[in-house]
Structure 1
Amino acid sequence: MTDRFRLTIAQLNPTLGDLPGNAALAVGAWQQAQAAGAQMLALPARFLSGSPAGDLARNRGFLDDCRRTVEKLAADCANGPAIGIGAPWRVGARVHDAWLVLQGGRVTAQVLRHGGGAVFDPAPISGPFAVDGLRLGCTLGDDALSPEVAETLAETGAEILICPAADPYHRSRHDQRISHMVARVVETGLPLVQLNLTGGQAEWVHDGASFVLDPGGHKRLQLPPFQDAVAHVDFTRGPEGWRAEPGTMAPQPDEWEQDYRAMCMGLGDYMRKSGFSRAVLGLSGGVDSTLVATIAADTLGPENLRAVRLPSVHSSQHSLDDAAEQARRLGIRMDTLPIVGPHQAVTETLADSFAGTTPDLTEENIQSRLRGVLLMALSNKFGELLLTTGNKSEVAVGYSTIYGDMAGGYNPLKDLYKTRVFQTCRWRNENHRDWMRGPMGEVIPPAIIAKPPSAELRPDQTDQDSLPPYEVLDAILEGLIERDESTGALVAQGFDPDTVRRVVRLVRFSEWKRQQAAPGPRLSPRAFGADRHYPLVNAWRDPG
């Protein structure tokens, strides 16, 4: 029996549905494993299909293609290391989240996720499988969060645990993964490999950050977050069993950098996987559009971004100047399309219908919708993805105009509260990384960060005319959304009862807008769209 085993692990970025392309990525990693003398290549969960596949994973034609691709991959890689790869897999009439072991030109083991899930059927716990005389156990996806599967594998002879995942990023998620995996190695006394995808898919961003633990929870290898990587892990067997030799220990950035990287990766992969190379956005001189422009410049390169000023009669000169200065600092193209004429034309058209009424939010929304019309026209004409710029605070309370400033294809700030928008701007001014394609230095004018937020849809308007101060609003929203707290619980924490009830009403009433909103990357444990869905019509009222 072998006393040394080399495992190659690969955290890579598959494209959902691109089975030949994802198989080619697997072959490339397999060739590196072969050159390094590894006995096995391990790839993350759902690598072949991409993730999350949703109901595509139950499509019969797609499942047949997955099986054919796996069989071809096994044949093409018959002479060399074994491969473990995740894919949706049909067994009889049931569809499973599977991790398939390929050796000698065929599938020699299939590990089916015990817990099933929203799309996949549950399965009995799969036992260990052998590669070159070593018995390996696999806890697939969420099966690794519970002791049951790992303990069963240890009891049935597994000597090393492999935990392939397709786990999306959110703040503090990496620490949670480590905590769960430490529990598994403490319970089983076995070394463990946790392996995650990289790359963005609509609202999910897979952050990689794969790692290896020895018994006792000692970390022996840590791969970087948000970055493709292939590493070779050597295991040796001694008197106390198998242990991993030390490997690379990539640092893990703080939450501000990880959030920023997730927004950039989410945007870049959404565009690349959708066939877009250029983007357009309205640049108002406010902090939200400024941050979106900076994210887009860092992701796409300044040469692939168009910014548009859309001044109305209420636009301040300082905001127009701030937008121009922002474009100059980033080195992006700036167009100016005034909406004064179109707004006057619409107002005249509606004059008879609106006779005898007082101007109100209706007239303000017309301005926003005219901006959406012009931006969508540029997007359609030039094939540029229109980026929307509403932060999570605004998305939560509906402080945005449907078919207006919500019009577009992707929103990098969808899960970033307003207070975090300000801090992220400060972070970017103080930090630059090699992967950023935008310029170094203070790219966001401090005047934009410092001025009171305003939609500038009427004279002297500020956001706080309609909303509580953002520090208060965001604290209430975090309780309502991230922690599912009741009105009474928030009032007990010291928040003004009328303010809490007003925010609750705004969040409830705005659900219909959110269900029509563009996707955006998940950053928090509870993101709109990805994690939180409320019925559009329901009669329940919080008694608090």
Structure 2
Amino acid sequence: MRVAVTKTMKIALAQINSFVGDIENNSILIIKRATEAAENGAELVITPELSLCGYPPEDLVLREDFLKACSKSLTRIAQALPSIKVIVGHPLKKGGKIYNAASLLFNGKIQGTYFKKILPNYGVFDENRYFEPGEKEFIFKHKSLKIGLLICEDAWSLSPSKLLKKKLVDVIIVVNASPYEIEKYDARVKIITKLAKETKSSVIYLNAIGGQDELIFDGGSFVVNKQAKLTHQLSFFKEETAIIDVFLKANINNTFYNKEAHLYEALKLGLRDYVVKNNFKSIFIGLSGGIDSALVLALANDVFDKRDITAVMMPSEFTAKISIIESRKMIKNTGVNYKEIDIQSIFKLFRKTLSSEFKNKPFDTTEENLQARIRGVLLMALSNKFSGLVISTSNKSETAVGYTTLYGDMVGGFALLKDVPKTWVYKLAHYRNSISNIIPNEIIKRPPTAELRHDQLDQNSLPKYEILDKIIELYIEKDLDIASIVKEGFSSKNVNRVVKLINNNEFKRAQSPIGPKITHRAFGKDRRYPITFKH
């Protein structure tokens, strides 16, 4: 049975933004946060999964110099913080095997190390490629309290929690680098609440923060007591070091948690960290007068100084006057740099150059795509000349069915809306305008159009987006086959057509820029289909 103890424990939850591979500066950040926490009375500091090297390090962990640098820095952190206990996540090579580890540092030394047992190998995770699973639990004592340690996926599995249940621990610490998805926070709370209930322990869930290529780590760390009640909640989408008494309930403000707000903040974080961590000094956005580019500009405007943003409108003979008018309104609302470059003369020159080759051929998708590619060339030229990054504006719906132009509107270094379905684009636009009216209402209201020919509307080529997005979700995220999707109430004609478009456009998606994952399954690392296949 458990021994009665005085239960008071000040723990610092260091929800930090580690930079993958920047071991030296990550070490400095950990030391700084731990020193500040100690000065404010903390007895134990916790950092996220692989906080020392950043998550995911991918093939960096296969380099001997990388692993040695991590081990050297871990020792340096321990020596710099002799008077406070600190848990640091790091990779470790031992006996010729590499582990996803977390070590307890105290008295200038490494007091013990836990190796992650359950290695996720699905979706965006490849941990079996790099790490060996651990075999033993890790429990340490602090002021007569027994504390168990788990790493991320361990908490979602029955096996590690069963072992800790048998050991009768008072507190379980779960260090994580758990990527954001819409509604994933609810799943985390459910799992951790179950763990607390089963083990009759208080559970601390510490998550990482920051953007890393296709992943967004949203923070939102929390504590659940042994009665399975949420007692502490940290901020989402920002760094924070909170000093808590794990056995005392704090005031929790959950008013910020709604799906639209979370998604908007997630995209801001993903954009900011990709641009800043890759040392881009400015960004370029092709503005069309449509809702996708308007939303991307709104997001960028909420993240960066307006002097570092350039929006470029490139009208042709098919561009409606309202597109130009509404784009100018948005520029007035944001105050960013703005350029208008008419592409009509360039388009005419292309057509004249190709006239003999295209003799007796009607105007078709070829000429439509020429316009998009002219715009892509101009955007890339501007970004090259002024050392900037082009932010692509294609959404998930378009990307899924290939309603984009390769080397045209797909150009760029980061596709901010790549995993955002069109229906969510509208939700996010309305959400942003609920804060302040930045996106002109006419842009939101008007029917979507590529404006590459006269009287063109998206819905003349595609099902309504409400239908299209649901079919995409069922096929991409739920893995349903055609017959099963039809049974969900969709016409066989629409389902067959959409699935065929998705499969036929894998070659386009393979050449598209990366973008942040926000749904259960995103294109890219999260969904790895062959380009050449038949199924």
* TM-score range relative to shorter protein: over 0.9
* Residue in structure 2 matched with residue 154 of structure 1 by the alignment: 165
Q: Is the 8 A contact 1:128 1:157 kept in 2?
A: no
Taking the TM superposition and a 5 Å limit, the aligned residue runs for 1:146-295 are 146-235=157-246, 244-251=247-254, 252-295=256-299
How far apart, in 2, do the equivalents of 1:32 and 1:24 lie? 12
How far apart, in 2, do the equivalents of 1:466 and 1:510 lie? 15
Instruction: Give aligned pairs, total.
Output: 522
* Residue in structure 2 matched with residue 508 of structure 1 by the alignment: 503
Question: What's the offset of the Cα at 1:487?
Answer: 0.5
Question: What's the offset of the Cα at 1:267?
Answer: 0.2
Taking the TM superposition and a 5 Å limit, the aligned residue runs for 1:58-207 are 58-78=62-82, 80-116=83-119, 117-118=127-128, 119-207=130-218
In the alignment, which of 308, 326, 343 is matched to residue 322 of structure 1? 326
* Residue in structure 1 matched with residue 486 of structure 2 by the alignment: 491
Q: Is the 8 A contact 2:13 2:241 kept in 1?
A: yes
How far apart, in 2, do the equivalents of 1:171 and 1:129 lie? 35
Q: Is the 8 A contact 2:168 2:199 kept in 1?
A: no
Alpha-carbon displacement from aligned partner over 1:193-241 (angstroms, at most 9, x marks no partner): 0000011111111011111111121111111111211112224xxxxxx
Q: Is the 8 A contact 2:114 2:134 kept in 1?
A: no
Alpha-carbon displacement from aligned partner over 1:102-156 (angstroms, at most 9, x marks no partner): 1111111111000233332212032312345433111111001012112212323
How far apart, in 2, do the equivalents of 1:404 and 1:3 lie? 62
Q: Is the 8 A contact 1:33 1:81 kept in 2?
A: no
Q: Is the 8 A contact 1:14 1:22 kept in 2?
A: yes
Question: What's the offset of the Cα at 1:538?
Answer: 1.6
**Per the alignment, in what secondary structure is the counterpart of residue 425 of structure 1?**
helix
Alpha-carbon displacement from aligned partner over 1:401-427 (angstroms, at most 9, x marks no partner): 111110001121111111111121111
Q: Is the 8 A contact 2:165 2:198 kept in 1?
A: no
* Residue in structure 1 matched with residue 464 of structure 2 by the alignment: 469
How far apart, in 2, do the equivalents of 1:91 and 1:2 lie? 38
Q: Answer with 148-157 or 268-277: which moved more.
A: 148-157
Taking the TM superposition and a 5 Å limit, the aligned residue runs for 1:384-463 are 384-431=388-435, 441-463=436-458
How far apart, in 1, do the equivalents of 2:440 and 2:152 lie? 44
Q: Is the 8 A contact 2:118 2:157 kept in 1?
A: no
| Letter of the 1:143 counterpart | D
Alpha-carbon displacement from aligned partner over 1:167-212 (angstroms, at most 9, x marks no partner): 0111111110010001111111111100000111111110111111
How far apart, in 1, do the equivalents of 2:401 and 2:191 lie? 35
Question: What's the offset of the Cα at 1:384?
Answer: 1.4
How far apart, in 2, do the equivalents of 1:520 and 1:250 lie? 31
**Per the alignment, in what secondary structure is the counterpart of residue 516 of structure 2?**
coil
Question: What's the offset of the Cα at 1:356?
Answer: 3.0
Q: Is the 8 A contact 1:127 1:156 kept in 2?
A: no
| Letter of the 1:200 counterpart | G
How far apart, in 1, do the equivalents of 2:48 and 2:69 lie? 19
How far apart, in 2, do the equivalents of 1:75 and 1:405 lie? 52
Gap regions ≥5 residues in structure 1: 236-243, 432-440
How far apart, in 1, do the equivalents of 2:250 and 2:359 lie? 75
Alpha-carbon displacement from aligned partner over 1:418-462 (angstroms, at most 9, x marks no partner): 11111211111112xxxxxxxxx2111111011111111011111
* Residue in structure 1 matched with residue 306 of structure 2 by the alignment: 302
**Per the alignment, in what secondary structure is the counterpart of residue 241 of structure 2?**
strand
Q: Answer with 40-49 or 117-126: which moved more.
A: 117-126
The 3 A distance-change label for structure 1 pair 253 and 277 is farther
| Letter of the 2:9 counterpart | F
**TM-score normalised over the length of structure 2:** 0.95
Q: Is the 8 A contact 1:223 1:250 kept in 2?
A: no
In the alignment, which of 362, 366, 371 is matched to residue 362 of structure 1? 366
Q: Answer with 132-141 or 158-167: which moved more.
A: 132-141
* Residue in structure 2 matched with residue 331 of structure 1 by the alignment: 335
Question: What's the offset of the Cα at 1:284?
Answer: 0.7
How far apart, in 2, do the equivalents of 1:255 and 1:176 lie? 14
How far apart, in 1, do the equivalents of 2:375 and 2:296 lie? 17
Q: Answer with 53-62 or 499-508: which moved more.
A: 53-62
* Residue in structure 1 matched with residue 123 of structure 2 by the alignment: none
Q: Is the 8 A contact 1:522 1:530 kept in 2?
A: no
* Residue in structure 2 matched with residue 312 of structure 1 by the alignment: 316
Question: What's the offset of the Cα at 1:277?
Answer: 2.9
Q: Is the 8 A contact 1:145 1:180 kept in 2?
A: yes
Alpha-carbon displacement from aligned partner over 1:290-309 (angstroms, at most 9, x marks no partner): 00000000011322210001
Alpha-carbon displacement from aligned partner over 1:476-510 (angstroms, at most 9, x marks no partner): 11111121111101111221101100000000111
How far apart, in 1, do the equivalents of 2:298 and 2:36 lie? 36
Q: Answer with 279-288 or 55-64: which moved more.
A: 55-64
| Letter of the 2:392 counterpart | T
The 3 A distance-change label for structure 1 pair 361 and 102 is same
| Letter of the 1:223 counterpart | L
How far apart, in 2, do the equivalents of 1:447 and 1:157 lie? 61
How far apart, in 2, do the equivalents of 1:125 and 1:170 lie? 31
Q: Is the 8 A contact 2:116 2:150 kept in 1?
A: yes
**Per the alignment, in what secondary structure is the counterpart of residue 387 of structure 1?**
strand
How far apart, in 1, do the equivalents of 2:522 and 2:380 lie? 26
Alpha-carbon displacement from aligned partner over 1:231-289 (angstroms, at most 9, x marks no partner): 12224xxxxxxxx1123524242000000000110000100100013111110101100
| Letter of the 1:323 counterpart | S
In the alignment, which of 527, 531, 542 is matched to residue 522 of structure 2? 527
* Residue in structure 2 matched with residue 342 of structure 1 by the alignment: 346
Q: Answer with 283-292 or 345-354: which moved more.
A: 345-354
* Residue in structure 2 matched with residue 238 of structure 1 by the alignment: none
Q: Is the 8 A contact 1:82 1:131 kept in 2?
A: no
Q: Structure 1: which 4+ aligned runs deviate by more than 4 Å? A: none
| Letter of the 2:463 counterpart | P
* Residue in structure 1 matched with residue 20 of structure 2 by the alignment: 16
